[in-house]
Structure 1
């Protein structure tokens, strides 16, 4: 079944504290992951929490990449949502595993917008 988009929900475990707590490093890595996957970056915003943690989003023409880190746990939650056939969200995830030095990644892919592509049936109630 064809879908409008592919949404990978990924969890990174065993990442070094200093990697996940460095806002510039997280920002640059997320932007580079989008580019490595072939996406067109439109804009991005990242926020550093106190005492630790980073959240951010990279808006791409094909949708977005988002992250929230828990450096004290060595954990990051990442979403990579892409539309169309040009960008593979797994390319971005694999790049992030390497650059965040994750010991382990759990991820699943959800196909978005499949119902939109199916014929709609009108129901009168």
Structure 2
């Protein structure tokens, strides 16, 4: 692929199990910490949207100038699917994931880092 079409982005996906029900069923708590995670990494927040589901669960999307952070929760299973994608080399989504995992304190975490924009998706081990 020609270099003028190449971009660099890091996409981190996290499956987090064993999270306290009340932490991931509270939309205001989730929005606050997702927004704070964006500020921790120095990203520019364009919008924050969140939805609560009946009887439980939530989704929060933080749209960034650099891309996005998102979380989808399944409190009844003590599970959250979290991801962060940032374009460019300045903003590292791993720092946002580290912040969120510190807040949520899951018992089990499965993480993948994907390097995007080089013409091929490259999955690398997490540091």
Fold agreement, TM-score > 0.5: yes
For residues 55-112 of structure 1, the C-alpha deviation after alignment (integer angstroms, 9 at most, x for no partner) is 1210011100011000011100011000111111110000000111212221101111
1:122 is matched with which residue? none
Structure 1 residue 33: deviation in Å? 0.7
Structure 1 residue 3: deviation in Å? 4.9
Is the Cα–Cα contact under 8 Å of residues 8 and 89 in structure 2 kept in the other structure? Answer: no
Unaligned regions of 5+ residues in structure 1, if any?
A: 117-125
Normalised by the length of structure 2, the TM-score is 0.86
Normalised by the length of structure 1, the TM-score is 0.87
Matched, 1:86 2:102: no
For residues 34-66 of structure 1, the C-alpha deviation after alignment (integer angstroms, 9 at most, x for no partner) is 111121111110000000000121001110001
Unaligned regions of 5+ residues in structure 2, if any?
A: 1-5, 121-127
Q: In structure 1, how many angstroms separate the alpha carbons of the residues matched to 2:44 and 2:104? A: 22
- CA RMSD across the alignment: 1.4
- Structure 1 residue ranges (4+ consecutive) displaced by more than 3 angstroms after TM superposition: none
